[in-house]
Amino acid sequence: MLRRLMTALSMAFCLAVTALAANAQAPVRGSPRVEALLARMTIAEKIGQLVQMPGGRQKALNSRIDDNERARIRAGRVGSYLNVAGAEATRELQRIAVEDSRLHIPLLFGMDVIHGYRTIFPVPLAMAASWDPAVPERAARVAATEASAAGLHWTFSPMVDIARDPRWGRIVEGAGEDPYLGSVMAAAQVRGYQGVGLDRTDTIMATAKHFAAYGAAMGGRDYAGADISQRSLEEIYLPPFYAAAREGAGSFMAAFNEIGGVPAHANRALLRDTLRTRWRWPGVLVSDWNAVAELRNHGVAESEGDAAELALRAGVDIDMSSGAYADTLEARVRRDPQLLALLDEAARRVLMIKERLGLFDHPYERSDPANEAGAMLTPANRAAAREAAARSIVLLKNDGGLLPLAASAPRIALIGALAQDANSQLGSWRAQGHVEDVHPLLPALRAAMPHAEIETAGDEIPAAVAAARRADLVLLVVGEDFDMTGEARSRADLGLPGNRQAMADAVLDTGKPVVVLLMNGRPLAIHRLAERAPAILETWFLGVEAGPAIADVLTGRVNPAGRLPVSFPRASGAVPFPYARLPSGRPADADPAHDTTRYRDLPITPLFPFGHGLSYTNFTFSDFAVRPLPNGTFRASVIVCNDGARAGEEVVQLYAHDPVASVSRPIEELRGFRRIALAPGEAKRVSFTLSPAQFAIWDAGRWRIEPGEIQLMVGASSADLRGRAAFRIAGAGEGREPAAAIFTPSSEEPIR
């Protein structure tokens, strides 16, 4: 009893201390084991924990492991590796660390497992298009099961960077332009990777990256700086990171970019004041590849030593591959006791993570060759990949109900080199994905349409036109191959590359009905194509089950219900063009005779808006209303009915707008969504519960809730709003979390 009371008292004391220290960074203490270890470590051994070496390259895992590396492990001068994998290989390295090094500290093995390890799922942008957090969560779970069976403890995923500029090639790796959708998807992936707890051997530690505002790169050029306001940072770019931290993400990665002249790896305000002090996040922060040494290129450090010191002071725990910590920190720490305290802190965090992963007690459990082979690409994993792929497809246009294809469709021309490009389906990060694992479109289509005659042609115009002429219907596959998006893959021209637009025009000129299948990792500016083609299906890069999933949707076995997680522009020069824009004193007017905020040479709308996606059936919305609940929250509900003859799914989207506030607020902001299934004729009431904190405004260091009206809009996309209602926030208040990272509970009930 006494002991319980003492524990309660000491807990209360701890809480009080933490609260008091909110602005002073309370020194964190590890478990007795971690503290005992730390007390025995030399400075060199502590630095060793902060050193992450590449054990290979992405395409040649383990290739850099040699006797030098083994000696480094024995000497305790490395704490983690990236680009090593395989149960045997990791077991061998772990054995050296655990048996031959002085303090027997196990190693951490990390890798970029981004959308699958062996079973490759759709690229992240595609999975965000599912508007179903269960999709990326399951993908992350499968990836964790496979990766952990290959000896890995850690993935550098999810990338939760908000991206509003499709010129930026890495837009493919994230969840698109919206901080609310991005927060939901971020948390889902962390849950998937880390499962019920990191001490379970089928889990891997998640990394929220790249902290922060990497997606705001000027001009969409990768690695360029982000010149954004503090409010944009807090309201748009940080919420998904907060959501990942709240979900318990074990690690964060700093970003390559600077914000307002401060490179992330030297940004104390971001890495310490925001992440550690304000958010109380206890995990381990890793640098991006070589980015500590690159502080010199940013012009904020003169030498490698200065760069290392700057990064450690800013809060970078682990130096990924640059060698700056390994080569220079010891001398600096010996000179400066303050640095020693920071070194202790960083080393402690690495040890705490190793403990959280269960590595001190079970260093080899994830490296079990008997388990490894059986874990990969199982039928269940493939089935999950197929479902994810089908749920990620977006029907952008379907004039005259051209899709789904009639089962009797006789002669089909499948045109475009991308149709045969299985390699591209693996996307820009493919971990251990194999091209041979991809089920491509042609055989899947033949299996789904056994009575059709299917002829193929590549991108050469004469052959494409000839094939189109012989066919009753054309499936025209165009877009970008996988290597046009991803890191360092920024493009200034968002049109179809090469001769693809000309080829598409020539095929459309034949007058045959054309269904366009887009394959791409970013929004494309395909204004002309979208005007001319009667049907367009956005298929992204869908992973190992791409072919069957596309065939499922083409034939109507699956009714598409993906929605765009990012707007498509009409022209390359019209980006960034997020839907959640601030109002202007001169709002865009369709009449160019008025001087308003618009381009003279383009319509005022995006080509396809955020949230857009069609179905083979039709949904109506009615009875949208909002009412206050006694606990200070608000319940908004709407009735959605499937009016068509096919079963289908609708993504009910809830947007909000604060019409009069102390500062201009976006014209609409997503604040809730729910993907629901409806049989023909079926109706459901969908309800969302909102709290005032979800409308808080970042203002001088706090989340300010302002009294007044909030307008709500419900609809099928950000531009297809079907109902409006409003409620009032009665009093001022203060929120505790980023508004966009607060999830809106939703429910559905059948209507009789």
How many C-beta atoms surround the C-beta of residue 27 within 10 A?
Answer: 11
Residues 101 to 130: which contact ligand BGC by CB under 6 A?
Answer: 112
Binding mask 261-290 for ligand BGC (x = CB under 6 A): ---------------------------xx-
Q: Confirm or reject binding of residue 161 to ligand BGC (CB under 6 A).
A: no
SS3 of residue 536 by DSSP: strand
Question: Can you say how many angstroms the Cα of residue 144 is from the centroid of all Cα atoms in its chain?
Answer: 16
Pick the closer one to ligand BGC by CB: 288 or 459. 288
What type of residue is 158? Answer: P
Q: How far is the CB of 251 from ligand BGC (least distance, A)?
A: 11
Greatest pairwise CA separation for the chain in angstroms: 88
- How distant, in Å, are the alpha carbons of 19, 56, 178, 742 from that of 674? 36, 42, 15, 15
Residues 468 to 487: which contact ligand BGC by CB under 6 A?
Answer: 487
Q: How far is the CB of 133 from ligand BGC (least distance, A)?
A: 22
Residue nearest to ligand BGC (CB): 156
Pick the closer one to ligand BGC by CB: 194 or 322. 322
DSSP string, 313-348: HHT--BEES--HHHHHHHHHHHH-HHHHHHHHHHHH
Tell me how many residues contact ligand BGC (CB under 6 A). 6
Q: How far is the CB of 83 from ligand BGC (least distance, A)?
A: 7
Report the distance separating Cα 316 and Cα 303, nearest Å. Answer: 17
| Residue (of 200, 208, 214) closest to 248 by Cα position | 208
Pick the closer one to ligand BGC by CB: 53 or 697. 53
Pick the closer one to ligand BGC by CB: 490 or 717. 490
Pick the closer one to ligand BGC by CB: 208 or 457. 208
Pick the closer one to ligand BGC by CB: 147 or 553. 147
C-beta of residue 565 within 8 angstroms of C-beta of residue 613? no
Q: How far is the CB of 112 from ligand BGC (least distance, A)?
A: 5
Question: How many residues in total does the chain contain?
Answer: 752
C-beta of residue 378 within 8 angstroms of C-beta of residue 308? no
Q: How far is the CB of 320 from ligand BGC (least distance, A)?
A: 7
Residues 137 to 156: which contact ligand BGC by CB under 6 A?
Answer: 156
At residue 180, φ and ψ (nearest 5 deg) are -75, -50
What type of residue is 271? Answer: L
Q: How far is the CB of 255 from ligand BGC (least distance, A)?
A: 8
Pick the closer one to ligand BGC by CB: 45 or 294. 294
Among all residues, which ones are annotated catalytic?
A: 288
Letter string b/e over residues 403-424, b meaning 16 or more CB atoms within 10 A of that residue's CB: bbbeeebeebbbbbbbbbbbbb
Report the distance separating Cα 69 and Cα 97, nearest Å. Answer: 11
Report the distance separating Cα 501 and Cα 382, nearest Å. Answer: 34
Residues 205 to 264: which contact ligand BGC by CB under 6 A?
Answer: 209
Residues 5 to 64: which contact ligand BGC by CB under 6 A?
Answer: none
Q: How far is the CB of 49 from ligand BGC (least distance, A)?
A: 19
Q: In degrees to the nearest 10, what's the CA dihedral of 578, 584, 589, 595?
A: -130
Q: How far is the CB of 291 from ligand BGC (least distance, A)?
A: 8
Pick the closer one to ligand BGC by CB: 165 or 288. 288
Residue recorded with tokens 């290129």:
297
SS3 of residue 604 by DSSP: coil
Report the distance separating Cα 343 and Cα 327, nearest Å. Answer: 14
Tokens of 226: 């982000």
Residues 485 to 524: which contact ligand BGC by CB under 6 A?
Answer: 487
Cross-strand partners of 57: 60
Residues that bind ligand BGC (CB under 6 A): 112, 156, 209, 288-289, 487
